[in-house]
Amino acid sequence: MSDKKTKTNRRRRGMTLIEIMVVITILGLIMAAVGVAVIPKLDEAKQDTARLDIANIHGALKLYYTKKGKYPDTGTGLKALVDTQNLERIPMDPWGHEYVYMNEGGKPVIISYGSDGTQGGEGPDSDISSKDSAQK
């Protein structure tokens, strides 16, 4: 009888160290697999957000043009849209940088320089421009 009680008591004590290590290893592998799949999607989502922001800014610029008969000059930039209440505030891109506005001969161009905040680059660092949207 005492042998049966001893075996029963061992089972009730909980999991062994090996069992806990196996569970932690499996959880780590699952987290690594999910991380590899999700992180590239985050960069894509930020780029998509920047494209949508640029389209919204472009819409506000069209409204400004309707009211004033011209687009703001490069020096005034997007501040003119805030002053005329076409935008609530000067927007920031998903990486925390201000969008770059240029008036190129009467055509407005809005640019986000990507995650690095500098001109040029590839992947998440690549520039996103309203010129790209107009060509598609």
Q: Report pLDDT for 135.
A: 47
Q: For 79-112, write each residue's pLDDT tens digit.
A: 999 999 989 998 899 999 999 999 888 899 999 9
Distance CA 76, CA 90 (A): 12
Candidate CATH numbers 3.30.700.10, 1.10.8.60, 3.40.50.740, 3.20.20.140; the one for domain 2-135: 3.30.700.10
State percent of the chain over pLDDT 90. 46
Which residues are CB-neighbours of 44 under 8 A, at least 6 positions away?
none
pTM exceeding 0.85: no
Distance CA 61, CA 58 (A): 5
Q: Report pLDDT for 94.
A: 92
Q: Report pLDDT for 120.
A: 80
Mean pLDDT of the chain: 85
Q: Torsion angle of alpha carbons 66, 72, 77, 82, nearest 10°? A: -40
Q: Map out the domains of the chain as residue ranges.
A: 2-135
Question: Which pLDDT band holds residue 38 (cuts at 50, 70, 90)?
Answer: confident
